[in-house]
Structure 1
């Protein structure tokens, strides 16, 4: 069984001194001894002690020389070294510091002072070892996660790529760095579209972190479809200096999606398929995405280099978006397995105010004025999940509305019903799309906004469970749309 005690190397050419220190420390630590400098260096390499108690005055090789070798030749910067010496001159202490000593103890050594200094230095070493281990794990995981991460310069040449990315492409990192990304890895029929994509990303015409899908050519000549989350890299002055690309191979997933859709059509969206879909989303996709985010969070806390922190922040934002999409899909699958829901009295006024507050940052970024028009004291009979409907409809209204426009949420009384409308000033919904816009995997038509195609399907499912009306129509006061729903009033 491996000992859980810290290991201490005691070095002194006087056996009595070694014996005394061993008696002091033997109950709490594993003791290794050496009686000269060269023996001490051999014990450092073979025994890997956690701390060294080092006598200064020794023949042939003194403590200063031993300390200097440990620090400079062995490259052991974080093994604590306490010099034990009868020398009291400041110049002697300075020599010890220059050689790399951490602390000094004056002979004869008192047990109390010895215990305190050793405990303090070992506590610092343990903290350092823990941080170093976690950092190494995080970097190793980032290298081996199933995501290609690379940096392109403004000429679209590869300046950096992670280990997993080079494995995906089938080349060593040395052969990838310096390559022109588009000319070397993008199929000819996609060149112009991808070049335009990067051009818009650099200029700011395309929003960062939104995903897109396009193929790459690997070393075997095969085309593999990737989902990309790209963002511009900027220096401290805000100038774009490159592009961070992170891509996930979705070739098999796309093929699997086609098979699942066909299977779903044949079985009319059976409960078995819903369970399978939910399991895949929650376990096969959400868990790895959560691990990526956790490790990137660790790296962000440990990293001090601002450029690396910006790179990690970009990876983090992309991972958060991926997690949100997976959670939406899993949530929809869960809703579709529910047939009956309970109803309670809901304060619509308060719930809508909370919803608006949660979107104030997004609205302010686009200078959109969100207004709530209702009479106080609006109550409905509904399930609390109705808040998800409000969140999704307000999110869509802000997302598809132009900057500087107004979004109105109107609550009106119609007999025993409340009609809640979300009115925007966007481009509107074509009549040909109104019938299908609430179906899953459908999305609004604006090409520069990439949605999951699931949000409105969640709205439809929740409203179906409430057995209430909902729909979309043109805004009669100008361009834009009105998404509306009804709820039964509280009697």
Structure 2
């Protein structure tokens, strides 16, 4: 939680916003005001306040719609929301609860009651934040401790494979090595996601050939598709240079290509296309699989989300891709191809923004 706590005040009547600021500012709260639902969502996503005080009756996007949008976004999902309303009907309160409101206060209200409700929800938020931090620290410790034995299993199994004459023993060792590598990748993804969430992503920007990064990722991914005869094709100029973090962007390419291979049928083709579009680079990765179910589309890039497009992982790969692309000043999305299959598309500026 911020210090001092940040409150987002949302009301289409300017006089009401002035009154609310007069209540909270002397109590030591930092406030931001929004006069429309669209402005409220923009500020909430950019600044992630500690609490939202939300008027229900607003033209255009009313408080119910704003609350639903806050709850649908991973960045704002857990922000406490108090709805300020002149409505007293039980049906309206039920609608607010269904939209995701944490509490209500009816107009006219006393300053003391409003402040008490805000303090109560902020205490709950602080407790949740502390619990989440404790959980994350504990999980990081466990994952770090798992890495060493996993590497030991992998190393010993590879040594035994070299000494193995073949037959069932060699096949079992191959299974052990494959499984250990999968666990090691999941550990890597978890630690990477934790670093990204904690804001510890520092890009090492330099001039890189983005096409060469894609080729390298395809070479890394190609052995995994041989058994099912998955073809990898690249449609790109011979060279396209941009200022990027080559290691991080290579991770994005590898993740998207491997993801596409998993959903492609035997004998299918995964196509990577790269090209300049104005002052940006556009990349698409196409597969010939079943496409993306509508129920999965909205949450596809969130943590631990797999939906019907299950990959057998822990649901971190696309979250990591999104975070890396956005750190470069780009954007990423997924869509269904007109001819069938899925398409993952991301854009990057040729010259990324300066990091703070």
TM-score (norm 2): 0.57
Q: Hey, what's the Cα distance between the residues in 1 that align with 2:189 and 2:141?
A: 13
Q: Hey, what's the Cα distance between the residues in 2 that align with 1:352 and 1:367?
A: 20
Q: 1:382, 1:488 within 8 Å by CA — same for their partners in 2?
A: no
Match of 2:111 in 1: none
Alpha-carbon offset, residue 474 of structure 1: 1.2
| Offset from partner CA, 1:144-193 (integer Å, 9 cap, x none) | xxxxxxxxxxxxxxxxxxxxxxxxxxxxxxxxxxxxxxxxxxxxxxxxxx
- In structure 2, the CA distance between the partners of 1:356 and 1:444, relative to structure 1 (3 Å rule), is farther
The answer as to 2:195 corresponding to 1:334 is: yes
Match of 1:277 in 2: 139
Q: Hey, what's the Cα distance between the residues in 2 that align with 1:355 and 1:452?
A: 21
Q: 1:439, 1:456 within 8 Å by CA — same for their partners in 2?
A: yes
Match of 1:374 in 2: 236
Alpha-carbon offset, residue 266 of structure 1: 2.4
The answer as to 2:253 corresponding to 1:387 is: no
Q: Hey, what's the Cα distance between the residues in 2 that align with 1:342 and 1:306?
A: 46
Alpha-carbon offset, residue 273 of structure 1: 4.5
Match of 2:3 in 1: none
Q: 1:379, 1:490 within 8 Å by CA — same for their partners in 2?
A: no
Q: 1:463, 1:469 within 8 Å by CA — same for their partners in 2?
A: yes
Q: 1:264, 1:273 within 8 Å by CA — same for their partners in 2?
A: no
Q: Hey, what's the Cα distance between the residues in 1 that align with 2:126 and 2:335?
A: 30
Q: Hey, what's the Cα distance between the residues in 1 that align with 2:176 and 2:235?
A: 40
Match of 1:291 in 2: 152
Q: Hey, what's the Cα distance between the residues in 1 that align with 2:227 and 2:177?
A: 20
Q: 2:325, 2:348 within 8 Å by CA — same for their partners in 1?
A: no
Alpha-carbon offset, residue 413 of structure 1: 2.4
Q: Hey, what's the Cα distance between the residues in 1 that align with 2:273 and 2:138?
A: 39
Alpha-carbon offset, residue 272 of structure 1: 5.3
Q: Hey, what's the Cα distance between the residues in 1 that align with 2:236 and 2:148?
A: 42
Match of 1:190 in 2: none
- In structure 2, the CA distance between the partners of 1:345 and 1:289, relative to structure 1 (3 Å rule), is same
The answer as to 2:321 corresponding to 1:459 is: yes
Alpha-carbon offset, residue 473 of structure 1: 1.0
Q: Hey, what's the Cα distance between the residues in 2 that align with 1:305 and 1:428?
A: 40
Q: 1:345, 1:490 within 8 Å by CA — same for their partners in 2?
A: no
Q: 1:363, 1:369 within 8 Å by CA — same for their partners in 2?
A: yes
> Aligned to 1:365, what secondary structure does the other structure show?
coil
Match of 1:400 in 2: 263
- In structure 2, the CA distance between the partners of 1:272 and 1:419, relative to structure 1 (3 Å rule), is farther
RMSD of aligned residue pairs (Cα, Å): 2.8
| Offset from partner CA, 1:18-63 (integer Å, 9 cap, x none) | xxxxxxxxxxxxxxxxxxxxxxxxxxxxxxxxxxxxxxxxxxxxxx
- In structure 2, the CA distance between the partners of 1:300 and 1:265, relative to structure 1 (3 Å rule), is farther
Q: Hey, what's the Cα distance between the residues in 1 that align with 2:229 and 2:162?
A: 33
Alpha-carbon offset, residue 335 of structure 1: 2.7
The answer as to 2:299 corresponding to 1:436 is: yes
Question: Out of 165, 169, 178, which is 1:317 matched to?
Answer: 178
Match of 1:480 in 2: 341
Question: Out of 424, 428, 438, which is 2:287 matched to?
Answer: 424
Higher Cα Rg: structure 1 or 2?
1
Match of 1:349 in 2: 211
Alpha-carbon offset, residue 356 of structure 1: 1.4
> Aligned to 1:394, what secondary structure does the other structure show?
helix
- In structure 2, the CA distance between the partners of 1:264 and 1:293, relative to structure 1 (3 Å rule), is farther
Stretches of structure 1 that go unaligned for 5 or more consecutive residues are 1-262
- 4+ long deviations beyond 6 Å: none
Alpha-carbon offset, residue 395 of structure 1: 0.5
> Aligned to 2:226, what secondary structure does the other structure show?
helix
Match of 1:166 in 2: none
| Offset from partner CA, 1:202-226 (integer Å, 9 cap, x none) | xxxxxxxxxxxxxxxxxxxxxxxxx
Q: 2:151, 2:184 within 8 Å by CA — same for their partners in 1?
A: yes
Alpha-carbon offset, residue 455 of structure 1: 1.0
Question: Out of 340, 343, 358, which is 2:220 matched to?
Answer: 358
- In structure 2, the CA distance between the partners of 1:417 and 1:354, relative to structure 1 (3 Å rule), is same
TM-score (norm 1): 0.42
Q: 2:292, 2:309 within 8 Å by CA — same for their partners in 1?
A: no
| Offset from partner CA, 1:302-321 (integer Å, 9 cap, x none) | 56684444434433332222
Alpha-carbon offset, residue 488 of structure 1: 1.0
Alpha-carbon offset, residue 419 of structure 1: 0.8
- In structure 2, the CA distance between the partners of 1:299 and 1:360, relative to structure 1 (3 Å rule), is closer
Q: 1:381, 1:487 within 8 Å by CA — same for their partners in 2?
A: no
